[in-house]
Structure 1
Amino acid sequence: MSHSSMTDSFEKKLDLKIKRTIRDSQLLDVGDKIVVGLSGGADSVMLLHYLKYGLQMDVVACHINHNLRGDESARDMHFVMELCKDWDIPLVIQDVDVALYAQQNKMTIEQAGRHIRYDSFAKVALDYHAQKIATAHTLSDNAETLLFHLVRGTGLKGLCGIPIKRDAVIIRPLIHITRQEVEEYCLLHHLNYVTDSTNLKRIYTRNKIRLEVLPKLYEVNPQVYTAIDRTITTLCREQEYLEQMALEAYEDVERSGELSIDKLKDLHEAIRMRVIARFLDQNDIEVTNDLVEQVNQMVFKSKGKINVKATIFLAIEKHHLVVMDSKQILEYFEQPLELGEFIAANGEKYEIAVHSIDEMIHIKKVYKNLLYIYLDYDKIKGKLVIRQRKFGDKITLAGRGGTRSLKKLFIESKLTAAQKSRVLIFADEESVIAVEGYGVDERVSCCENTQNVLTLIKVE
């Protein structure tokens, strides 16, 4: 086979592989504008080139100058500026002091860099009305990540490596492409790129894996990257299934922000550990393997109490796993609601009143930031009460369609147990009519026939 034929064959195979990745994982839609994270390295240069010239996509580049490598950082920034100028691609540069940011926010340099990068990408996507954010993670990165997690100890999620997409917005089209294939693509298309010198230093764990471990594994199996890719794909499929089972189990064992110990014990350990992890996350508690295991042991003993941070504890009470914060969590409250000022159980002062529809224009202007709830007074059925959420509470939020349980609303909002206990629920004799911070039920929402409006205004 001639060199030209081999080149054509390589490019066709690579093109099919990337397009299959995009298609199978539904990474792109027709007409998408894409923000591309452009470091200047081979991976990101290839990604930008392929999206613009291979797929004819509308792209915007974003480069983060971390200011961690002195002259080399400046070199990278000038390189991407020239590249985007030559390719006529809009470029946004974020010049940040990552080391200072890490110090101020008590993060590692790596955590700070990741946080800044994705925040910057999201802002650029918003400014340019882009639908997707593409990063140039490759199969080589994924193999390194799997091994990195493996040697440090991890669960199934850690072995799944880098997700191919996140939140349907962040996409990684090169996730099944090796770094060698990237470099061959750059050579084929005469693409210049810069190299981060720190990638060659063996003092970093990831670099040791890249420079020492993976070459040895390649000697054992020349198809090691294909094997790892296949393994990650299988593990991701099983992780997704187990997470779905865990979500269903969580909804069964959770009641009013607490988990039933009896129901937890009945779960398979793989699912139980995931349910516990979800419970921690929902209550804004850092999820670690050690903490999940501690809680698991506490569940089996049906007793115990763990201080997780400041005044917050995990405890077994009345055969339920609960989050306790004596300074914040409120006991169940319910009280009749009458017109006038009142102090709610959450300690806030409110005024409830009835106004004509004509007065509402003025009310909305004057109390723009303090008007918490307003609804059609004449649609209220019987007496009003203000209370905490009860099991089974539902609401059909006006203008959003579909009936939702308050439990799911609070879960999606990631409210802690303390926050849930302070949300004011308004109900008449028929059902919930409003939830503070979320809105009113369609049944009592104002419409063109509304004459009288009930308002809840926070009194400062």
Structure 2
Amino acid sequence: MKHRLFEQNRTILLAVSGGPDSMALLHFFVSIRDTYHLRLIALSVDHKLRGKESLEDLHYVRDICEKWNVEFIGKQVNVPQYMEETKKSTELAARELRYAFFEKMMQSYNAPILAMGHHGDDQVETMFMQLTKGIKPKGMPFKRSFANGIIIRPLLSVTKDEIHAYCRNHQIIPRLDPTNEETIYTRNAFRHHLVPFLKERNPNIHHSAQLTSEIFQEEEDYLIEEAKKVVECVATFDEKKDNVFIDIQKVLRFHPTLQRRAFHLILNYLYRHLDVVEIKAIHHDQLLKLMHSEKPNAMIHMPHNLIVLKAYDQIQFRFNKTSKAPYYYRLFPGEQILLPDGKTLSVILEKSSSKPKESGAYEFVCHAESIALPLIIRSRQNGDKLKIRGLGGSKKIKDVFIDLKIPQAEREEWPIVTDNNGQLLWLIGLKKGEVLETTSDQWLRLMVT
């Protein structure tokens, strides 16, 4: 095998949902089990998102495993409840609970290999999704560290169509999840709209994406090793290793490529207990701007209360553990900014004869001539009121938080958008304000990604 994903006489855990990809994966490992002397354990998760139907998927996997003499462990996780508690999206909540189960099983069975059914089309989707998020499109590796071992993806070199053909050839009748057809989920939208478009122009796009991914991974591995040397040279950690101090003059001796990766390593280290934090290109950009700022003293907010302070020739990374500092930013069309939770707010000027559609709670559209620029993005203030769209009246932000049961700890940093005259426009993700419409064809679109 080119990537030597596993050796003989190993225990392999397999993530099996019952769909075509995972069933092909399971069948493939069953077909080589005796040759490689493998112990196979299938893991299946019911996310409680489709009621009886999703539970039947789990039972289907259980029955197939019994037929093929494969050990089986099924688990139900309550994604809707977790979403309510954490305010996270369906995709993220399901992923976190699913991977927590996988990690627990890897540790319980001391099985350091978890096989997953991601294929070439998934690779294309992932790389373009990363690109749109401002993350370098490295895609998914054939293997990566996870829990007490590794995740492997043996099917990355084959397409979805080839997997369906494999299932037909071996009389496998997989379960089909109807939510995979709903394009309200980000990955599904890429799957149904972007990937077919790309395949029309390059039927071998999955091979190109995989080759590019591997090249990026190799280059990144090398650059990270070089960046480690930079960190050793320029960074000082305090005794508890929660605060990091950077010598700006020393950093400036190195190429910006290594500067960015050095900052990336520092952020990864500081966020080591927070797996959900995605470090994006905008994080690096903000750090480089701070370092080159002519101001002797400046500060930026990063996700999860991490504050980065510039004081003359030194940059300090530290967590604001005692209280959440108020913030206040100005933003013009064409600019973007980091919010305290790590998401990115972008402002786009559009031209349209009719009001452009908003896509969900994290987009806001209004007439450009109805507001005074620049936009202000800030934390809440006493007495804040929002004239809520469609309500016909105003409501205190405090009462909105109470009605929506937003935890007290999150309220102080929840971002509010106003115009330059103080008109409240948007309590991001929660409520949108009523804005006067004009006959202008100029519109502002605010997007949080």
TM over 0.5: yes
Describe how 1:122-271 pairs up with structure 2 within 5 A.
122-150=103-131, 152-156=132-136, 159-167=137-145, 168-256=149-237, 257-271=244-258
Aligned to 1:279: 266
Asked if 1:91 is matched to 2:85, the reply is: no
Matched residue SS, 2:257: helix
**Long gaps (5+) in structure 1:** 1-19, 329-460
The correspondence of residues 25-424 of structure 1 with structure 2, limited to 5 A, is 25-56=3-34, 57-150=38-131, 152-156=132-136, 159-167=137-145, 168-256=149-237, 257-284=244-271, 286=277, 287-301=279-293, 303-308=297-302, 313-317=307-311, 319-324=313-318
CA distance in 2, matches of 1:229, 1:82: 34
1:40 deviation in Å?
0.3
C-alpha distance after superposition, 1:76-97 (max 9, x if no partner): 1121121111112111111111
Judging changes above 3 Å, is the alpha-carbon distance between structure 1 residues 324 and 74 closer, same or farther for their aligned structure 2 residues? closer
Deviations 1:256-294 (A, max 9, x none): 331110121122112211212222232238534333322
**Which is further off, 319-328 or 214-223?**
319-328
**Contact conserved, 1:139 with 1:178, CA < 8 A, in 2?**
yes
Q: Deviations over 1:182-217 (max 9, x none)?
A: 111111111121111111223333223222322222
Partner of 2:335: none
1:32/1:131 contact within 8 Å kept:
no
CA contact (8 A) 2:121 2:195 kept: no
Give the TM-score, by structure 2 length. 0.63
Choose 1 or 2 for highest CA Rg. Answer: 1
The alignment partner of 1:51 has SS state of helix
Contact 1:43 1:136 in 2 (8 A): yes
Deviation, 1:127, is 2.7
SS, match of residue 75 in structure 1: helix
Is the 1:305–1:313 Cα contact (8 Å) retained in structure 2? yes
Whole-angstrom CA distance in 1 between matches of 2:98 and 2:89: 14
Shift of 1:125: 2.3
Question: How far apart are the structure 1 equivalents of 2:26 and 2:90?
Answer: 26
Kept in 1, the 8 Å contact 2:157–2:206? The answer is: no
Cα distance between partner residues in 2 of 1:310 and 1:120: 24
d(CA) in 1 for partners of 2:219 and 2:193? 30
Instruction: Give the number of equivalent residue pairs.
Output: 303
Deviations 1:160-181 (A, max 9, x none): 1112212152111111121111
Give CA deviations for 1:403-423 in whole Å, capped at 9, x if unaligned: xxxxxxxxxxxxxxxxxxxxx
- Structure with bigger helix share is 1
Q: 1:232 to 1:288 in 2, by over 3 A?
A: closer
Supply the AA of the counterpart residue of 1:179: K
Q: Which runs of 5+ in 2 are unaligned?
A: 238-243, 323-449
1:360-388: CA deviation from partner (whole Å, max 9, x where unpaired): xxxxxxxxxxxxxxxxxxxxxxxxxxxxx
* Aligned counterparts of 1:250 and 1:63: Cα–Cα separation in 2: 41
Counterpart CA distance in 1 for 2:312 and 2:205 is 52
Q: For the Cα contact (< 8 Å) 1:122–1:133, is it kept in 2?
A: no
Deviation (angstroms), 1:318:
5.7
Amino acid at match of 1:184: A
Q: For residues 145 and 312 of structure 1, do their structure 2 counterparts lie closer, same or farther at Cα, with a shift above 3 Å needed?
A: closer
Q: Which amino acid aligns with 2:246?
A: L
User: How far is the alpha carbon of 1:225 from its aligned partner?
Assistant: 1.9
CA distance in 1, matches of 2:174, 2:22: 9
Equivalent pair of 1:43/1:182 in contact (CA under 8 Å)? yes
Q: Which residue in the other structure is 1:397 paired with?
A: none
Note the alpha carbon deviations across 1:287-326, whole angstroms, 9 max, x for none.
3433332221111126422244787531123622113468
CA 1:201 to 1:310, structure 2 compared with 1: closer, same or farther past 3 Å? Answer: closer
Q: Secondary structure at the match of 2:40?
A: strand
Distance 1:127 1:40 in 2: 23
Partner Cα distance (2:80, 2:193) in 1: 28
Contact 1:52 1:58 in 2 (8 A): no
TM-score (norm 1): 0.61
Which one is further off, 94-103 or 218-227? 218-227
- 2:104 match: secondary structure: helix
Specify whether residues 143 and 288 from structure 1 end up closer, same or farther in structure 2 by C-alpha distance, changes over 3 A only: closer
Q: How large is the Cα RMSD of the aligned pairs?
A: 2.3
**8 A contact 1:92–1:124 mirrored in 2:** no
Distance in 1 (alpha carbons) for counterparts of 2:248 and 2:219 = 26
Whole-Å separation in 2 of the counterparts to 1:327 and 1:34: 41
**Does structure 1 retain, via aligned residues, the 8 Å contact 2:245–2:317?**
yes
State the distance in 2 between where 1:237 and 1:314 align. 30
Distance 1:68 1:145 in 2: 23
Identical-pair percentage: 28
Q: Secondary structure at the match of 2:252?
A: helix
Find the aligned partners of 2:319 and 2:215 in 1 and give their Cα distance: 41
Instruction: Give the aligned residue type for 2:256.
Output: E
Q: Distance in 2 between matches of 1:311 and 1:77?
A: 39
Q: Pick closer, same or farther for the CA change 1:324–1:70 going to 2, 3 Å.
A: closer
Alpha-carbon distance in structure 2 between the residues aligned to 1:65 and 1:208 = 23
Letter of the 1:119 counterpart = A
Q: Distance in 2 between matches of 1:266 and 1:69?
A: 56
Cα distance change on mapping 1:38 and 1:305 into 2, 3 Å: same
